[in-house]
Amino acid sequence: MTAKRSRANGEGSIFPYRNGYAAYAWVTKPDGLRTRKYVYGKTRDDVHAKWIKLQKAAQEGPVVTRSMSFAAYARYWLREIVEPNLSPTTHATYEYVVRCYLVPGLGEKRLDRLQRNVRDIQTWINTVGRTCQCCAQGKDARRIDHKRRCCAVGQCCGDLPSPSTVAHIRRVLRTILAQAIIDGEATQNVAKSIKIPAVRHHKRKAWTSEEARRFLESARADDDPLYAAYVLVLVLGLRKGEMLGLGWPSVDLLAGELTVDWQIQRVGHQIIRRETKTESSTANLPLPAICAMALRQRQVIQAGARLAAGDTWHESPLVFTTRYGTPIEPRNFNRFWDRRCVAAGVRKITVHDARRTCGSLLADLDVHPRVAMVILRHAQFAITMEIYTQVSSKATRDALKRLGESLE
């Protein structure tokens, strides 16, 4: 008597398991080892369909056999990849995106399932772009009762993330999944297939030489203690963090040079001074006369502040400090800058935008083009000369030179 077959043709390794069925296939893991991977289902047909998919995946390449949740892997990525290797501000930015956007939406999903559901990820990121983040993150609800003014009192403020924010969320997700592939936790990066709205890059503002002159003359006339800081931003194009982190050991007034190798940053609830982000960010810059004279004036101002503060003075190598010798809060510098714009009667632009004025000021101050090329960090001399052909009126150039000479 012939025994009854327990499996139909083509079902392979399907067998009864608990209250349903199970099947397995031999697969190659990302580490190169061969092992069995199982699939489960309530009916034989369900398991057969899953088994066919598994067989196909095994033929196409490595298969992940055990997967962790996205939230668990994201925490590992922040702790072991980002924090030891990237800057504190980058870690803080990534941590915010993971905590406020990625984990709430994707945290419970397993990595192996996440990489197979492009449609779900597309729907999720579209929903993020249409959702008020004040409601989703409870921003207004975290305020004390008498200061709640919108979402927590039933008046949604419609705080939708901008296209650039959505793009940044996708960028962080793509970076996490790329590392998951390297670690053998995933085999494909679904974030590469997500479509998002185009980000429009608006042309950044800049001052004319005339506006920059009025700004500096206003600070000089009012004996603004941050006059030298404004000069370094406008004439040398220093970033805000580089200027606030500048130390006297990096300034050589006799040689007429300044080294950009430190920066001040706010990370969470503290201000830190750290080396510049990369070796390419470090530069030795020649000091035009107006910069050297402004820094000498700054030495005098700081000596007076140290004497006035007495025992409350905090000794540090910083060029720009508060009246007590402590680092200047970057956000406070923004406020000082904005007030000076109003006092000078010029267009209000950001400190970062002001760096774009640097080239035209160097031309109007008659700084040699080769020196300007070093300051502007141009790779080609022709780029510098293109800026130098766009000089201001003779009256503006003469006024700028007098401004520098007035400090002698």
Joined tokens for residue 251: 């300034």
pLDDT for residue 19: 85
The label of the residue with tokens 């956000």 reads 331
For strand 20-28 and strand 283-286, is the pairing parallel, antiparallel, or unpaired?
unpaired
Give me the residue spans of the domains in the chain: 15-60, 70-193, 209-405
Residue 41's pLDDT is: 87
d(CA 95, CA 107): 14
Within this chain, domains 70-193 and 209-405 share the same CATH topology: no
Angle (deg, nearest 10), helices 330-344 and 209-221: 100
Residues in the chain: 408
Per CATH, is 70-193 categorized as 1.10.150.130?
yes
> In what side-by-side order are the strands of the sheet with 15-17?
15-17, 20-28, 34-41
Question: Domain 209-405 belongs to what architecture?
Answer: Orthogonal Bundle (1.10)
Q: What is the pLDDT of residue 272?
A: 84
65 torsion bin: left (phi>0), alpha (psi -120 to 50), beta (else) = alpha
Phi, psi of 185 (to 5 degrees): -95, -10
Of all helices (H) and strands (E), which one includes residue 267? strand 262-267
Which run of H or E residues covers position 72?
helix 70-76
pLDDT along the chain (408 residues), means of 10: 46 78 84 82 88 85 77 92 89 93 90 80 92 90 88 89 92 93 82 86 75 91 94 87 92 90 83 71 76 92 93 93 92 94 93 79 71 66 58 55 53
DSSP-assigned letter for residue 247: B
Whole-angstrom distance, CA of residue 241 vs CA of residue 331: 11
**Of residues 102, 107, 89, 116, the one with CA closest to residue 166:** 102
pLDDT at 307: 93
pTM reported for the whole predicted model: 0.68
Alpha carbon distance 78, 176 (integer Å): 9
In the sheet that holds 283-286, the strands lie side by side as: 251-252, 257-260, 283-286
CA angle 193, 199, 201 (to 5 degrees): 145
Taking a C-beta distance cutoff of 8 angstroms, is the pair 211, 361 a contact?
no
pLDDT tens for each residue of 273-284 = 888 765 545 567
| Distance between CA atoms of residues 251 and 331, nearest Å | 25
Is beta strand 15-17 parallel, antiparallel or unpaired with respect to 262-267?
unpaired
CA-to-CA distance for 199 and 281, rounded, in angstroms? Answer: 27
Phi/psi of residue 274, nearest 5 degrees: -140, 165
Dihedral pair phi/psi, residue 2, rounded to 5°: -80, 135
The answer to whether 11 and 41 have CB atoms below 8 angstroms apart is no
| CA–CA dist 40, 15 (Å, integer) | 10
Of the chain, the end-to-end C-alpha distance in Å amounts to 115
| CB-neighbour burial class of residue 102 (10 A; exposed 0-12, middle 13-18, buried 19+) | buried
